C-alpha cells in the first residue's frame, strides 16, 4: 500500500507498507513516532458514558385474570414498625401539642438506627426521610439531642425543612429520593398540610382530600415504603376516632391506615387508636417521658391504663380470675369490699365488666 507524500513532505519517494495481518491502523514501519494528525483530520472524541441513573421499581401489574391472581405469591407487607406502621400511607392525627412531632421524630431516629420503637417494638434498620416542615434546624437539634440522650445521631436519617407541594414537584422529588435509597424503611411528613397543595377550583371537598392523599400514596406504593402523614384533628371530639380527623372522610378513605393519638386519663399519657387495611384495629396506651421526649408503649390493654387505680385493679384481677365475685376481688386485692362492690356495678354499667345472675363478673372480649 502506498502513501503519497504531502506538499510539505520533504521525502521524494513514496513509502511502502507491506500488508500482512497487521491492523489497518498500525503505524508505518519507517516512522518511530507516527503522527496521524499530519495527514488526516482527527476523528470525533469517543462518547463519554453517562453516569448511571438509579431506576426505581417497575410499575406494578394492574390487570389480572382471577386464576393468575390466585396463583401468584405476594411478599408480606414491609413494616417500619410492626403492628403500627406498614408500607403505604398512614395518617397520624392528633390535637395540637399532644406530642405528635416528638413521636414521629423519635420513630425516625429509632428506625434509622435500628433501635426498638416505643421502647419495646423491634424494627429493621434502614434509611429514613423526615420532612420537618414546621421546625427550624436549631429546634430539631435540641429535640434530637434530648431524644438521643448521648447516643450518636444516625447518618441514615435525612432531615428536610423545606419541600415543594406534592402536586408541584414534591411527589417527583420524593420518588427520586426513594429511588436513590431503595432500602428506605420510613418517610415522615410533618405536617401534611404543608405539602398537600391547593385544590383545583370546583372540586368537591371529599374528592380534593382523596386526591391529596393519592399524590403521596402512588409513590409509597411504588416503593413499598411506610409513609406517615402527620395531621390534625377537629376541635370537637367524637366517639368514633376516625370522625375526629380534620377534613372530610376522603383523607381516611384514601389512606391505608389511620392512627389518632388522644390524651387520656389514668396512668397513660395518651392512647394511640389504629385502624387500617394491613393493621389490626387496636388501641395502645402510651406514656410520655418528659425528660427524654420519648413515647413508651405500656403493657396490656389500653383500658388497664386509662381508668382509675381502683377500676384498673379490679379489671386486672377479673381478667385473670373470670367468674369471680366482689367479695373475692376485695379479699384478693386488699380493696374495701363496699367500694369494690359499688365499683363493679358501675364498671358493668359502663361496659368494662359483664355480670350474670349470680353476681359473678367477667371481662368482655373487647376490653
All cell numbers assigned to 300: 396490656
Distance CA 110, CA 148 (A): 9
CA 53 – CA 49 distance, rounded (Å): 12
Per-residue pLDDT 10s for the chain (367 aa) are 445 555 555 554 444 334 444 455 544 444 444 444 443 455 555 556 555 667 778 777 889 999 999 999 988 999 999 999 999 999 999 888 889 999 999 999 999 999 999 999 999 999 999 999 999 999 999 999 999 999 999 999 999 999 999 999 999 999 999 999 999 999 999 999 999 988 888 889 889 889 999 999 999 999 999 999 999 876 655 556 666 777 778 888 889 999 999 887 566 788 899 999 888 889 999 999 989 999 999 988 887 777 777 888 898 899 899 999 999 999 999 988 988 999 999 889 888 899 988 889 999 875 4
- CB neighbours (10 Å) of residue 201? 5
- All 3 cell numbers of residue 258? 389511620
Nine cell digits for residue 148: 438521643
Q: How far apart are CA 341 and CA 329, in angstroms?
A: 9
Between CA 109 and CA 292 the distance in angstroms is 13
Instruction: Enter the pTM of the model.
Output: 0.72
Strand 270-276 and strand 226-232: the pairing is unpaired
Amino acid at each position: 500500500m502506498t502513501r503519497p507524500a504531502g506538499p510539505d513532505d520533504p521525502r521524494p519517494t513514496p513509502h511502502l507498507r507491506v500488508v500482512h495481518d497487521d491492523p489497518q491502523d498500525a503505524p508505518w514501519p519507517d516512522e518511530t513516532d507516527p503522527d496521524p494528525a499530519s495527514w488526516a483530520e482527527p476523528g470525533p472524541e469517543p462518547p463519554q458514558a453517562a453516569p448511571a441513573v438509579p431506576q426505581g421499581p417497575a410499575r406494578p401489574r394492574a390487570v389480572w385474570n382471577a386464576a393468575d391472581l390466585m396463583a401468584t405469591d405476594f411478599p408480606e407487607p414491609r413494616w417500619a414498625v410492626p403492628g403500627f406502621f406498614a408500607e403505604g400511607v398512614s395518617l397520624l392525627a392528633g390535637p395540637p401539642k399532644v406530642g405528635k412531632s416528638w413521636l414521629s421524630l423519635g420513630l425516625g431516629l429509632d428506625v434509622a438506627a435500628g433501635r426498638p420503637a416505643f421502647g419495646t417494638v423491634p424494627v429493621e434498620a434502614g434509611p429514613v426521610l423526615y420532612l420537618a416542615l414546621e421546625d427550624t434546624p436549631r429546634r430539631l437539634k435540641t429535640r434530637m439531642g434530648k431524644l438521643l440522650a448521648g447516643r450518636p445521631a444516625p447518618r441514615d436519617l435525612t432531615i428536610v425543612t423545606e419541600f415543594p407541594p406534592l402536586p408541584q414537584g414534591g411527589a417527583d422529588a420524593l420518588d427520586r429520593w426513594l429511588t436513590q435509597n431503595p432500602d428506605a424503611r420510613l418517610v415522615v411528613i410533618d405536617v401534611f398540610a404543608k405539602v398537600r397543595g391547593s385544590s383545583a377550583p370546583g372540586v368537591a371537598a371529599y374528592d380534593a382530600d382523596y386526591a391529596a392523599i393519592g399524590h403521596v400514596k402512588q409513590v409509597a406504593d411504588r416503593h413499598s415504603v411506610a409513609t406517615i402523614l402527620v395531621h390534625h384533628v377537629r376541635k370537637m371530639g367524637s366517639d368514633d376516632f376516625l370522625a375526629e380527623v380534620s377534613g372530610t372522610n376522603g383523607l381516611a378513605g384514601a389512606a391505608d391506615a389511620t392512627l389518632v393519638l388522644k390524651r387520656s386519663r389514668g396512668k397513660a399519657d395518651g392512647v394511640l387508636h389504629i385502624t387500617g387495611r394491613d393493621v389490626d384495629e387496636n388501641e395502645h396506651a402510651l406514656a410520655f417521658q418528659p425528660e427524654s421526649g420519648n413515647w413508651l408503649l405500656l403493657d396490656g390493654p389500653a383500658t388497664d391504663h386509662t381508668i382509675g387505680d381502683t377500676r384498673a385493679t379490679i379489671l386486672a384481677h377479673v381478667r385473670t380470675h373470670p367468674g369471680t365475685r366482689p367479695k373475692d376481688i376485695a379479699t384478693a386485692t386488699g380493696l374495701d369490699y363496699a367500694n369494690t362492690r359499688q365499683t363493679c356495678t358501675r364498671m358493668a354499667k359502663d361496659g368494662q365488666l359483664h355480670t350474670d345472675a349470680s353476681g359473678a363478673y367477667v371481662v368482655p372480649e373487647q376490653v
